[in-house]
Structure 1
Amino acid sequence: MAVPVDARTLAVEQMRLGDHAFAHYADDEARWGVLGVFAQLGLARGEKVVVLADPAVSDDEVFQRLFPHAGSSEAAREHGQLEFTSMRELIHPQRHFTAERQMGRLREETEQALADGYAGLRSVIDMAWVQDLEMDIEGVMHRELHAEALFTDRRYAEICTYDRRRFAPETVEAMRLGHPVALLEQPGQLGASHSEQGLRLVGEADWSTREQWSAAFRAALAGSGCDEPLTVDLTPLTFLSVTCAAEVLRQVNRSGSRERLEVHCTPFHADLFRRLGARQIEALVLVESEGATR
């Protein structure tokens, strides 16, 4: 099942405290990539990281998967900055999950992390716990759709990751739509979404994604008239190679005269476009912005 990319999709590197994100996987080997980046960035930013992984996987294996090169993460685990637990342990002594109990415990954990001197708390939650606790999916969906209070003060961040083999496609899609942020499935991917406003690209534009990058621009240029303004949002990109930037200018030149093409991008990427000759394209307007609009 293909999971759509839309205006809420981000790369995991762009997550910050206050974000509540949906992630997904359908491969036991690939499922650790996004979670590992999220956990590693949390430690690097001085946040406490709590991991509630698939209950069928041991804590030691989860640690090795998330931190394959170990290093300072071993010390973080020893000192309590990195913690492995489960939903069953989190809601103890209650035996049955309730949204109120879970959210209350996460608030307590956030307050304790701040009291211990951390910048905030981020948690990784594999939704395999739903089957482990024999929880009805309606109760889970209610919690996911009504958890705003955990995130409003921007001291807590959370990834809820869904195994597409465990959950029905309609449940996965409802959860994707219900989260304020949806993540690309893997680090290093490129996602493209087309709308009436234009084209939005998220993730990494490099040699491995260049064909997808080129095809997305061709479709956007072909789908808009030359007398209509076209907006291309590149602010969600985490990487833009020289080759891919040059491809943008090449396609714009080949598409013929155009009324206006706005490219929204970071100052760094705007400078790259100018160095490659963007000033010579009259219809091209670079709109500088610091990162994706949230």
Structure 2
Amino acid sequence: MSYDDDEVRWEVMTAFVRLGLAQGEKVILFPDPWLPEAEVLARLDFTGRSTVTARERGQLVLSSMRSLIRPDLRFTPERQIGRLSSETARAADQGFTGLRTFIDMRWVPDLDADVRVMMHRETHADALFEDRPYSEICAYDRRWFDRGVLHAMDRAHPRSLLERLGTLRTVRGGDGSVHFVGEADATARSAFTTALELALSGSAAARRLTVDLTRLHFLSVGCATALIALADRADGHHVVEVRCDRLQARTLHRLGAGVVPRMRMMEVVRPC
């Protein structure tokens, strides 16, 4: 994830922590090293005492990158990955269902680490997750990292989190397809329509466009209607293929998608 609003960072971190605790996982936090520990604890404990109990029984641990790589003073991918692998095994030995970590990447300037070395780690960490009950969020403060680094890390990770609920994100595929992520509600209709218009314009030469709705949590009637109308007017296209789940397909059919000759529905199982 990336953020430039501290409240976004807190919201994602606390949700990630509480989900892990509820699932019986061990959770290790590596917060912004410049934050006072008391502030981190106050945020975690807000509205409930479950995190206090979890810390008392060793299920929730506050740490730092300096502590993780100790006794080494300099960060290396091998040292960090090795220690996280050991912590995952340790969590299993302690009876937890897995390990999850939240790592605020401001440890990089704190340790004066080489950003290129950090980026190498981020793109060569597959072994951490293979056959291991391990999950991880890397949080990048956009006020501290170069835009090129943020873009590379966004592409390197298998998932990039939305900053807030109710947000719509548009992602263009290498084949010209357009993928919608999040919520296509009434407030997002203008952005949804604009993204479709641009995708149709960009795919005019190929004369076909794939629209992927499977990562939407909500598709409003307004956005669904806009999709049908644009597909109906896309005279230069042979096919507008819409990948969607069962509920989305039902909504589109009820709104008249079946009478648009070039609109082809492909019902798929929603990805995890």
TM-score range, shorter chain: 0.7 to 0.9
Structure 1 CA distance for aligned equivalents of residues 184 and 45 of structure 2: 25
Q: Measure, in 2, the Cα distance between the counterparts of 1:38 and 1:191.
A: 21
- Alignment correspondent of 1:125: 103
User: 1:157: Cα distance to partner?
Assistant: 1.4
Q: Give the aligned length.
A: 271
The residue number in structure 1 matching 2:221 is 242
User: RMSD between aligned alpha carbons?
Assistant: 2.7
Q: If each structure's helix is expressed as a fraction of its own residues, which one has the higher value?
A: 2
After superposition, give the CA deviation of every residue in 1:98-123 in whole Å (9 maximum; x if it has no partner): 32221121111111222333332211
Specify the SS of the correspondent of 1:95. coil
CA shift, 1:125, in A, is 0.5
Structure 1 residues 66 and 260, CA gap change in structure 2 (3 angstroms): farther
- Residue 74 of structure 2 aligns with an amino acid whose one-letter code is H
Which residue of the other structure, out of 118, 123, 128, is the alignment partner of 1:140? Answer: 118
Question: Given the alignment, which residue of 110, 127, 130 partners 1:149?
Answer: 127
Instruction: Label 1:259 to 1:186 Cα distance change in 2 as closer, same or farther (>3 A).
Output: same
Q: Match for residue 35 of structure 2?
A: 57
Partner letter of residue 69 of structure 1?
T
TM-score normalized by the length of structure 1: 0.79
Letter in 1 for 2:117: G
Identical columns (%)? 45
Asked if 2 retains the 8 angstrom alpha-carbon contact of 1:36 and 1:67, the reply is: no
Matches within 5 A, 1:8-23: 23=1
Aligned to 1:158: 136
Runs of 5+ unmatched residues, structure 2: none
1:278 is matched with: 257
Bigger Cα displacement from structure 2, 173-182 vs 104-113: 173-182
Contact kept in structure 2, 1:278 and 1:284, CA below 8 Å: yes
Bigger shift: residues 147-156 or 32-41: 32-41
Structure 1 unaligned segments of length 5 or more: list them: 1-22
Structure 1 residue aligned with 2:77 = 99
With a CA cutoff of 8 Å and minimum separation of 6, indicate the structure with the bigger relative contact order: 1
- Report deviation, 1:73: 4.0
Q: Is the 8 A contact 1:261 1:285 kept in 2?
A: yes
Structure 1 position 146, deviation (Å): 1.9
> Any residues of structure 2 matched to 1:149-228 within 5 Å, and which?
149-195=127-173, 196-225=175-204, 228=207
SS of corresponding position for 2:72: coil
